């Protein structure tokens, strides 16, 4: 079952939908979707969120899934009041820019505790060539309120649509019938799959930079590209690293509405996330090594340039010295009155320069 679910999640990752269509939902520009599920099957519901929740609680089974996109504080206020959401969680959900976490809030109305989960979404930004200013990783945020009979997803950013995920879950009613916890697992699994896809794409950039650094004519500007890649990799690390502990809590501790039946699925996600964090750490160490190798190559190249400059300075010093001596205008100079004195001095200077040049070439300085 887990393998089948993961295959479906990967298919959801590869599919894209338009998130900016102004008329996707008659429930308002902020509400992406509002659906009622019973026994894993989507039910007919054309009413508001209030009517959908009333239908679920009247029947005593199923749950309602509401998807929101960047709601304002005023727009989200009615949902917070309807589902009895904690004010602190509401504030975090509206303002965004939160660290990945899982928090449990007690419901004073007696309908059951609520889990508030914050996930960072990531997408790889395609580019023809990596430069010192290229954007490689783009991040967003996804908040999930999970109760005994409802799921509220709040998305911040232009990517991370849950439309394909919803469709694939509806194709597996036996999994969706496990309730809101199954939706939370599917979302976490999809987010981690996105991380893995981004990590695989970043690896191609790392391989490209590594090949460029170790070519015979490595560019001096490679340091900027390496640093930019490390900076973009840090974005992925900030998204994936803090998520491991919250998911581990969901996989190992009973946190209603996540029951023992769904915890093995979260353990599978934790396993993949741990492997991803190890992979990111390996990438970071590899980039450090590439940067050190590049700086060593630059140092070697500078030393070679300095040796060449020193060698040519030594060669030029010979005629400079001889010409300086004969330029002092003394009356008694060697071969000063001789007819062939001038050609002889030129020959001596040329011979000395050739001998020094040959010596430097033999020692690898030129």
pLDDT for the residue numbered 214: 80
**358 and 213 share a domain?**
no
**193 and 272 share a domain?**
yes
- For residues 218 and 210, what is the distance between their CA atoms, to the nearest angstrom? 10
**152 and 293 share a domain?**
yes
Cβ atoms of 348 and 338 within 8 Å: the answer is no
Sheet holding 137-146, edge to edge: 41-43, 31-38, 63-69, 150-156, 137-146, 114-124, 101-105
Q: Pick the last residue of a domain from 269, 297, 325.
A: 297
pLDDT for the residue numbered 187: 95
Domain count, the chain: 2
Q: What is the mean pLDDT of each run of 10 residues along the chain (366 residues)?
A: 47 37 43 87 82 88 92 91 91 89 81 89 90 90 94 89 90 92 94 94 91 71 85 92 92 84 92 94 93 85 84 86 77 71 81 86 82
Distance separating the N- and C-terminal Cα atoms of the chain: 68
Q: Pick the last residue of a domain from 277, 297, 317.
A: 297
Q: Pick the last residue of a domain from 297, 328, 351.
A: 297
pLDDT for the residue numbered 109: 66
**CATH code of the domain in which 43 resides:** 3.30.460.20
**8 and 46 share a domain?**
yes
pLDDT for the residue numbered 150: 94
**183 and 135 share a domain?**
yes
Supply the range of the domain harboring residue 50: 2-297
pLDDT for the residue numbered 241: 92
**111 and 250 share a domain?**
yes
- For residues 305 and 332, what is the distance between their CA atoms, to the nearest angstrom? 42
pLDDT for the residue numbered 11: 46
pLDDT for the residue numbered 29: 54
Beta strands in the chain (DSSP E): 31-38, 41-43, 63-69, 101-105, 114-124, 137-146, 150-156
**99 and 133 share a domain?**
yes
pLDDT for the residue numbered 259: 84
pTM for the full predicted model: 0.77
């Amino acid at each position: 079952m887990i393998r089948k679910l993961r295959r479906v999640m990967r298919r959801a990752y590869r599919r894209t939908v338009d998130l900016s269509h102004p008329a996707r939902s008659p429930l308002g520009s902020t509400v992406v979707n509002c659906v009622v599920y019973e026994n894993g099957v989507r039910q007919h519901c054309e009413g508001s969120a209030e009517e959908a929740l009333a239908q679920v609680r009247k029947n005593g089974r199923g749950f309602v899934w509401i998807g929101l996109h960047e709601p304002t504080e005023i727009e989200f206020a009615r949902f917070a009041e309807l589902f009895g959401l904690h004010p602190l969680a509401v504030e975090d959900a509206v303002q965004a820019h939160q660290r990945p976490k899982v928090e449990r809030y007690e419901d004073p109305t007696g309908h059951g505790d609520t889990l508030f989960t914050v996930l960072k979404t990531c997408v790889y930004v395609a580019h023809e060539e990596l430069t010192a200013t290229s954007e490689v990783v783009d991040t967003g945020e996804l908040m999930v309120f999970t109760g005994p009979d409802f799921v509220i997803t709040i998305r911040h950013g232009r990517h991370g649509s849950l439309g394909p995920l919803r469709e694939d879950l509806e194709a597996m009613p036996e999994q969706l019938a496990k309730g809101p916890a199954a939706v939370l697992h599917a979302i976490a699994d999809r987010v981690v799959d996105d991380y893995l896809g981004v990590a695989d794409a970043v690896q191609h950039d790392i391989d490209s930079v590594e090949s460029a650094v170790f070519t015979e004519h490595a560019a001096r500007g490679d340091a900027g590209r390496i640093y930019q890649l490390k900076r973009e990799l840090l974005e992925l690390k900030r998204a994936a690293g803090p998520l491991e502990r919250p998911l581990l809590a969901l996989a190992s501790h009973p946190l209603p509405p996540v029951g023992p039946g769904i915890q093995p699925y979260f353990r599978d996600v934790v396993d993949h996330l741990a492997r991803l964090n190890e992979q990111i750490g390996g990438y970071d160490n590899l980039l450090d090594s590439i940067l050190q190798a590049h700086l060593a190559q630059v140092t070697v190249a500078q030393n070679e340039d300095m040796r060449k400059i020193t060698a040519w300075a030594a060669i030029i010093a010979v005629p400079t010295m001889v010409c300086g001596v004969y330029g002092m205008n003394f009356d008694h100079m060697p071969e000063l009155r001789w007819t062939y004195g001038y050609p002889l001095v030129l020959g001596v200077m040329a011979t000395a320069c050739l001998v020094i040049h040959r010596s430097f070439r033999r020692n690898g300085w030129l």
